[in-house]
Amino acid sequence: MSIPADAMQPPASVRTRAPRRRTLALPLLAVGLLLSIALSLSLGSVPVSPAQLWQIATGGDAGVAGDVVLGLRLPRVLAAAACGGLLALAGALMQVLLRNPLADPYVLGISGGASVGALLAMTAGLAGALFELSAFAGALTAMALVFGLAHGEGGRTPTRLLLTGVIVSAGCGAAVSFMLTVANEQSLRGMLFWLMGDAGVAAPPAAALWTLAVGVLICTPLARDLNLLARGDLTAQTLGVPVLRLRLAIYLIASALTAVAVTTVGAVGFVGLVVPHLMRLALGNDQRLLLPASALAGALLLLLADTAARTLIAPAQLPVGVLTALLGVPVFLFLLHRRR
Q: Which residue, 61 or 153, has its beta carbon nearer to other proteins?
A: 153
Q: Please, which of residues 174-213 interact with other proteins by CB under 8 A?
A: none
DSSP state of 28: H
| 10 is an interface residue for other proteins by CB under 8 A | yes
Residues 244-273 that bind other proteins (CB under 8 A): none
315 binds other proteins (CB under 8 A): no
Task: Identify which range of 11-19, 25-33, 196-204, 206-214 contacts other proteins by CB under 8 A.
Answer: 11-19
Does the protein bind other proteins through residue 99 (CB under 8 A)? Answer: yes
DSSP 47: -
Element (H or E) spanning 37, and its range? helix 12-42
Q: For residue 203, which of 141, 137, 253, 135 has the smallest C-alpha distance?
A: 135
Nearest distance from residue 148's CB to other proteins, in Å? 23
Nearest approach, Cβ of residue 226 and other proteins (Å): 11
User: In the complex, what is the shortest distance from the CB of residue 337 to other proteins, in angstroms, rounded to a whole number?
Assistant: 16
**Considering the rule CB under 8 A, would residue 280 count as an interface residue with other proteins?**
yes
Closest CA to 267 of 40, 107, 72: 107
Over the window 50 to 89, marking each residue x when it contacts other proteins by CB under 8 A and - when it does not, the resulting string is ----------------------------------------
Residue of 68, 208, 241, 318 that binds other proteins (CB under 8 A): 241
User: Taking the mean position of all CA atoms in its chain, how far away is CA 156?
Assistant: 23
| Dihedral angle sign, alpha carbons of residues 86, 92, 96, 97 | positive
Tally Cβ neighbours within 10 Å of residue 211. Answer: 23
Please say which residue, 5 or 217, places its beta carbon nearer to other proteins.
Answer: 5
Contact call for residue 12 and other proteins (CB under 8 A):
no
Q: List Cα–Cα distances, 278 to 92, 100, 149, 259, 331, in angstroms.
A: 11, 14, 32, 23, 9
- Where does 128-270 have alpha helices with state H? 128-149, 158-182, 185-196, 206-229, 233-238, 243-265
Of 107, 102, 29, 26, the C-alpha closest to 332 is 102
For residue 325, the minimal CB distance to other proteins (Å) is 24
* Contact set with other proteins (CB under 8 A): 1-10, 14-15, 19, 99-101, 153, 221, 224, 227-228, 230-232, 234-235, 237-242, 280, 284-286
